[in-house]
Amino acid sequence: MEEQKLVISADNGPEVETNKFKDSVESKSQQLDQLKNELEQKDLENKELKKDLEKLTNSPKKNFWQRLFK
């Protein structure tokens, strides 16, 4: 009787470990997806900031008379 219980528990051991591994992989996959989304958002923000910076640095420079007589 005890031997059967040990055999049954030994048989369930790999399934439990497999399920734990699958859960771990799924949670890591979700975390990776979340990080990818955050990275994409940051990339978009960086592109917008670069465009703004280019606009500010490439503004036409006015000469003395243009500044004086807007």
Looking at the predicted structure, is the pLDDT value of residue 4 above 60?
no
N- to C-terminal Cα separation, the chain: 100
Residue 31: predicted pLDDT: 96
The two structure tokens encoding residue 28: 């890591």
Q: What is the pTM of this model?
A: 0.55
Residue 9: predicted pLDDT: 56
Residue 69: predicted pLDDT: 81
The two structure tokens encoding residue 33: 């997806």
Residue 10: predicted pLDDT: 53
Residue 17: predicted pLDDT: 76
State how far the alpha carbon of 61 is from the alpha carbons of 1, 57, 70, in Å.
93, 10, 13
The two structure tokens encoding residue 3: 């031997």
